[in-house]
């Protein structure tokens, strides 16, 4: 009988501890800083050579191509940090972007 009560006690303890652990896990995970997702927008506001309604699926390979061929990261042409966590891709602040735009223009004219 005593053994049985002991078992019940343990079972009750588990039922108290488990929900507490669950709640603590949730609270801790909310408290942690979530890693910032890269902010490459889906809509573009400052395209002067590429079509303004270009989709992300088309724009990104072009931009990645720019990065690869120039050997620079996105931040070489764009006013964004290397991890792309913030910043403004539409800004024309960096001279390299303007040069690259001229290049795009030339290519379009040749085509």
Nearer to ligand HEC, 6 or 48 (CB): 48
Angle (nearest 5°) at CA 73 between 43 and 82:
80
Give the count of beta carbons closer than 10 Å to the beta carbon of residue 89: 19
Question: Phi then psi for 74, rounded to 5 degrees?
Answer: -55, -35
Give the count of beta carbons closer than 10 Å to the beta carbon of residue 77: 23
Binding site for ligand HEC (CB under 6 A): 40-41, 44-50, 59, 63-64, 66-67, 70, 72, 74, 76-78, 89-90, 96-97, 100-101, 104
Nearer to ligand HEC, 8 or 45 (CB): 45
Nearer to ligand HEC, 36 or 64 (CB): 64
Shortest distance, position 67 Cβ to ligand HEC, whole Å: 4
Shortest distance, position 89 Cβ to ligand HEC, whole Å: 4
Q: Can you read off the two tokens belonging to residue 102?
A: 């001229």
- Angstrom distance (rounded) from CA 20 to CA 84: 38
Nearer to ligand HEC, 21 or 45 (CB): 45
- Angstrom distance (rounded) from CA 51 to CA 58: 10
Shortest distance, position 105 Cβ to ligand HEC, whole Å: 9
């Amino acid at each position: 009988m005593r053994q049985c009560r002991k078992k019940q006690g343990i079972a009750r303890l588990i039922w108290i501890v488990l929900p507490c652990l669950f709640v603590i896990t949730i609270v801790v995970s909310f408290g942690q800083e979530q890693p910032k997702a890269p902010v490459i927008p889906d809509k573009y506001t400052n395209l002067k050579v590429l079509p303004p309604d270009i989709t992300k699926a088309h724009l990104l390979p072009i931009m990645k191509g720019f990065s690869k061929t120039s050997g620079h990261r996105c931040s070489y042409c764009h006013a964004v940090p290397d991890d792309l966590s913030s910043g403004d891709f539409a800004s024309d602040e960096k001279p390299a972007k303007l040069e690259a735009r001229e290049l795009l223009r030339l290519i379009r004219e040749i085509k």
